Amino acid sequence: MDFCRTPFLLFRFRNTTFLKSKSADMKRKYFARFISCKNNRYFSAIQRDPSSVMVAGSDGACMSSDCSSHWSDRFLSAEDADVFRTLKSDCVVYGDFISVEEENTLLTEIEPYLKRLRYEHDHWDNAIHAYRETERKHWSEVNKSILNRVKSVAFEQTEIPLPYTHVLDIEKDGYIKPHIDSVRFCGRTIAGLSLLSPSVLRLALENNKTKYGDLLLLPRSLYIMRDKSRYEFTHELLPSEKSKFKGKPVLRDRRISVIQRLKPDDEEK
């Protein structure tokens, strides 16, 4: 999603803003999932013909100016240059993807279900410590529209999301050990909203764990992991005592994530 270095042109036609680029590679690779935030509105792009895309906002608004995004300056940290490059291109974190009100409407729907469950501890082989979780298929209209906004940003139009949204609640002392989501259950993209508490998600190269990068996940942010970041890196949610970003402590508390995934690749069609 590196738009900063690729020239493109935005122009308006009959109330719709189009984006034009001479780079075939950019069109092929990025246009179908073009997304940026401008004044807290989210814009996604739909490829219309080989030379243009329609850029539509989450609230029906259209893009009318430069939309380069510099997400990696704020929410990505990695000492290794290759790791930084890979994570910058194959994952993204949007701060304030949802409003405080939207966070509350999600919590209002989720909490009654979670409260019936007990936190799971002490299973030595569990990938997650001090957690409870549920999966939800049907949502209120307002929450459905939030989740649809996530899908429109994270997934391409031809991709099929899993029908269930995963809700994971971890306690203040909870954490997620390094793992890669099973390819049997999940396709190339994972998209998670973080609620309540800030946290740090560490992505480490599976075949060289000394190489890693950290994502800062503030409450109400959205992270998306796809392709290499999803298949070649493990991800883990750091426990409270290790929760640091760029050297600064990130105070952990109870955290809830609302995760949407794609259907496994072999089931897509």
Interface with ligand OGA (CB under 6 A): 168, 176, 181, 192, 235, 237, 257, 259
Phi, psi of 217 (to 5 degrees): -110, 100
Please say which residue, 133 or 181, places its beta carbon nearer to Mn ion.
Answer: 181
Please say which residue, 52 or 143, places its beta carbon nearer to ligand OGA.
Answer: 143
**How far apart are the C-alpha atoms of 112 and 108, rounded to whole Å?**
7
Binding segment for Mn ion (CB under 5 A), chosen from 12-20, 80-88, 107-115, 178-186, is 178-186
Helices (H), the chain: 24-30, 71-75, 81-90, 100-114, 141-154, 228-231
Residue burial 197-219, b: 16+ Cβ < 10 Å; e: rest: bbbbbbbbbeeeeebbbbbbbbb
Q: Does 80 bind Mn ion (CB under 5 A)?
A: no
Q: Which does 161 bind (CB under 5 to 8 A by kind): Mn ion, ligand OGA, none?
A: none
Helix axes 141-154, 100-114, angle to 10 degrees: 110
- Token reading at 117: 């469950």
Q: Residue 23 CB, nearest distance to ligand OGA (Å)?
A: 33
Of 109, 159, 173, 181, which lies in the binding site for Mn ion, with binding defined by CB under 5 A?
181
Of 77, 68, 60, 71, the C-alpha closest to 97 is 71
Please say which residue, 149 or 235, places its beta carbon nearer to ligand OGA.
Answer: 235
**How far apart are the C-alpha atoms of 34 and 156, rounded to whole Å?**
10
Q: What angle do CA 237, 242, 248 make, to 5 degrees?
A: 105
Q: Residue 230 CB, nearest distance to Mn ion (Å)?
A: 9
Phi, psi of 115 (to 5 degrees): -65, -20
Binding mask 104-143 for Mn ion (x = CB under 5 A): ----------------------------------------
Phi, psi of 182 (to 5 degrees): -60, 130
Q: Residue 21 CB, nearest distance to ligand OGA (Å)?
A: 33
For ligand OGA, the nearest residue by Cβ is: 257
Binding segment for Mn ion (CB under 5 A), chosen from 45-53, 138-146, 181-189, 261-269, is 181-189
Please say which residue, 83 or 168, places its beta carbon nearer to ligand OGA.
Answer: 168
- Token reading at 174: 């909870």
Q: Residue 128 CB, nearest distance to Mn ion (Å)?
A: 9
User: What is the Rg, in whole angstroms, of the alpha carbon atoms belonging to the chain?
Assistant: 19
Q: Which does 192 bind (CB under 5 to 8 A by kind): ligand OGA, Mn ion, none?
A: ligand OGA
Q: Which does 257 bind (CB under 5 to 8 A by kind): Mn ion, ligand OGA, none?
A: ligand OGA
For binding to Mn ion (CB under 5 A), which residues are involved? 181
